[in-house]
Amino acid sequence: MATFTVRGKNIEITPSLREYVEKRVGKVTKYFDNVGEISVLLTVSKGRHIVEVTVPVQGGILLRGEEATMDMYTSIDLVVEKLERQIHKQKTKLARRFRGGGFKAEALQAPAVPDKQDDSDEEYKVVKTKRFIVKPMDTQEAIMQMNLLNHNFFVFRDSETEEVNVVYKRTDGNYGLIESGN
C-alpha cells in the first residue's frame, strides 16, 4: 500500500476528500512494484481548484501531473487520467527501463484510458540543438537572464558550487530551481 502526503492550501482536507484522493490517485500504483511516498497538493486560488500530484517510483522516475478546474473532485479525476496517459504513452520505455523488475507490464495490457494517438513506440524527435557556454552566476542573475531572453528556463553554472543548475518559470508565476549534484 502506498503512503500519501495530502496537503491543502486555502482548503481544509476533510476525511472524505483525503479518502477520495487516496482511492483515485492510488490507482496509478498498480503499474509499479515500488512506489515512494505520493505527494498531493490541493489548492484553491481565485476560484480554481488545483491538484498537483508527484509519484516517485523505482529507478528515479518521477511521475507528475497537475490539473485545475472549478471543482476539486473533477481536478483529481483529470490528474489521475493524465498520469495514466503518461504511463501508457511511455509504457515501452518504462518496461525497458524496468527490465529487471519493478514495472508491472501486465497491468498495461488493457489500457484504462484510451490514448488519443498510439505513439508509445515513437522516438522523440529533436528538431533543434543549441550549444552554448554555461556561465557562472548566482540564481538571481540566472533568473534575470532568463527573463531578459523571454525564456521559460535557463541553464547556468552556480558560482558558489560550480554545479550546473536550471532555473525555470512555474505556471503559478514563481520560479523553480533544479540543482544538479550527487
φ, ψ at 137 (rounded to 5°): -165, 170
Q: What is the pTM of this model?
A: 0.60
Give burial (CB, 10 Å; 0-12/13-18/19+) of 123.
Answer: exposed
* Domain residue spans of the chain: 4-108, 136-179
Which percentage of the chain shows pLDDT scores above 90? 44
The whole-angstrom separation of Cα 21 and Cα 42 is 10
What does DSSP say about strands 136-137 and 153-158: parallel, antiparallel, or unpaired? parallel
The whole-angstrom separation of Cα 158 and Cα 137 is 5
State the amino acid at position 123 in one-letter form. Answer: E
Radius of gyration of the chain (CA): 19
Span 15-24, mean pLDDT? Answer: 96
Q: Which CATH number fits domain 4-108: 3.30.160.100, 3.30.70.260, 2.30.30.90, 3.40.190.10?
A: 3.30.160.100
Count CB-CB contacts under 10 A for residue 119.
10
Mean per-residue pLDDT over the chain, rounded: 83
Q: Which CATH number fits domain 136-179: 3.40.50.360, 3.40.50.300, 3.40.190.80, 3.30.505.50?
A: 3.30.505.50
pLDDT digits (tens, 9 = 90+) for 96-135: 665 655 555 555 444 444 444 544 456 778 888 888 788 8
Computed from CA positions of residues 146, 151, 157, 160, in that sequence, does the dihedral angle turn out positive or negative?
A: positive
The whole-angstrom separation of Cα 118 and Cα 93 is 14
pLDDT digits (tens, 9 = 90+) for 22-60: 999 998 888 877 888 999 999 999 999 999 999 887 766
